[in-house]
């Protein structure tokens, strides 16, 4: 199936703040591998059947589209939606490489899709809600798209636990600087059950996950990457001068390179509920 471009202007609206460069593409694909086992468990809990219709909202360069396609099989219908056409082009390559050629890919904003109401057995997002200024609008659209009795599932983070051990003042400075310029709520994880219920879902479940990273592992330096991506915004906010920012990054890099330093990742929450019949 070919890629559908739903609206010409989606890229003009507030961009995904982490960008769409090759490094971000590689990070997002690595992130799919990182969260694969948890996603499998989530789908086991919800129970997808062959022939189901499923949607991954904000799928990026793969999301969970391969897991969906594997589970619903050729009789099912898998749709991936993202506001970035470039990510969907990568998703097409990734899916082709895995032999999943029937997935439909659509450029659209998640807050207002042209998809038919009540048309999916499962509507899913991962790591989109923490990036958007109006998570309730995305959830409202997800609920609109789920059939009565169907599921809405979200997987998102809460920076509550995101720290390094031993603790370090440059971590605290840079984490605060990144959080201050983030495009969404870095603590959305804890709000997920309430947001799902407010959106009209029932039988809401919540499962948290924790992880530790060590030097050499990809997400050990994630905060440094986020700070680099947001450098201009941080400096524009005038909370730090360029010299202070560079000093903090150098201090943190040295600390993270110490073999005795580990990082605790943000708590990764999975929450899901059912649209009433």
Which residues contact ligand SAM by CB under 6 A? 16, 28, 31-32, 58-60, 63, 82-84, 87, 109-111, 126-128, 131-132
Nearer to ligand SAM, 111 or 270 (CB): 111
- Tell me the C-alpha distance between 171 and 241, whole Å: 16
Judged by CB, which is closer to ligand SAM: 82, or 121? 82
Quick one: 143 or 240, whose CB is closer to ligand SAM? Answer: 143
Least distance in angstroms from the C-beta of 158 to ligand SAM: 15
In the complex, what is the shortest distance from the CB of residue 90 to ligand SAM, in angstroms, rounded to a whole number? 10
Helix, strand, coil tally for the chain in percent (to 5):
45, 20, 35
Query: Could you tell me the smallest distance in angstroms from the CB atom of residue 51 to ligand SAM?
Result: 24
How do strand 146-158 and strand 267-274 relate by DSSP bridges?
A: antiparallel
Whether residue 197 is preceded by a cis peptide bond, meaning omega within 30 degrees of 0, is no
Residue with tokens 């009540």: 118
Rounded to whole angstroms, the maximal C-alpha distance in the chain is: 58
Q: Which two tokens stand for residue 84?
A: 């970035």
**Cβ distance 243 to 168 under 8 Å?**
no
Nearer to ligand SAM, 92 or 173 (CB): 92
Distance in Å, CB of 232 to ligand SAM, minimum = 19
- Nearest approach, Cβ of 40 to ligand SAM (angstroms)? 14
- Give whichever of 58 and 76 is closer to ligand SAM, judged by the CB atom: 58
The β-bridge partners of 230 are: none
Shorter beta-carbon distance to ligand SAM: residue 67 or 248: 67
Q: Is residue 271 classed as helix, strand or coil in its secondary structure? A: strand
Q: Is 127 left (phi over 0), alpha (psi -120 to 50) or beta?
A: left
CB of 210 to ligand SAM, least distance (A): 18
């Amino acid at each position: 199936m070919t890629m559908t471009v739903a609206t010409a202007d989606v890229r003009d609206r507030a961009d995904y703040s982490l960008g769409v460069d090759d490094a971000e593409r590689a990070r997002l694909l690595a992130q799919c591998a990182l969260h694969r086992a948890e996603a499998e468990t989530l789908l086991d809990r919800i129970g997808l059947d062959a022939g189901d219709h499923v949607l991954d909202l904000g799928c990026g360069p793969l999301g969970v589209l391969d897991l969906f396609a594997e589970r619903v099989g050729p009789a099912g219908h898998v749709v991936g939606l993202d506001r970035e056409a470039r990510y969907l082009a990568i998703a097409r390559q990734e899916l082709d490489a895995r032999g999943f050629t029937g997935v439909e890919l659509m450029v659209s904003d998640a807050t207002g899709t042209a998809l038919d109401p009540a048309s999916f057995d499962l509507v899913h997002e991962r790591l989109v809600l923490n990036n958007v200024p109006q998570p309730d609008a995305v959830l409202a659209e997800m609920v609109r798209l789920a059939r009565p009795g169907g599921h809405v599932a979200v997987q998102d983070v809460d920076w509550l636990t995101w720290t390094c051990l031993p603790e370090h003042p440059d971590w605290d400075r840079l984490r605060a600087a990144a959080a201050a310029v983030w495009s969404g709520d870095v603590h959305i994880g804890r709000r997920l059950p309430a947001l799902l219920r407010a959106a009209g879902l029932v039988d809401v479940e919540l499962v948290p996950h924790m992880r530790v990273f060590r030097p050499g592992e990809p997400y050990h330096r994630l905060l440094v990457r986020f700070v680099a991506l947001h450098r201009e915004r941080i400096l524009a906010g005038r909370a730090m001068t360029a010299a202070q920012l560079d000093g903090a990054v150098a201090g943190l890099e040295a600390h993270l390179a110490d073999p005795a330093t580990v990082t605790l990742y943000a708590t990764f929450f999975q929450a899901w509920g059912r649209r009433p019949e």
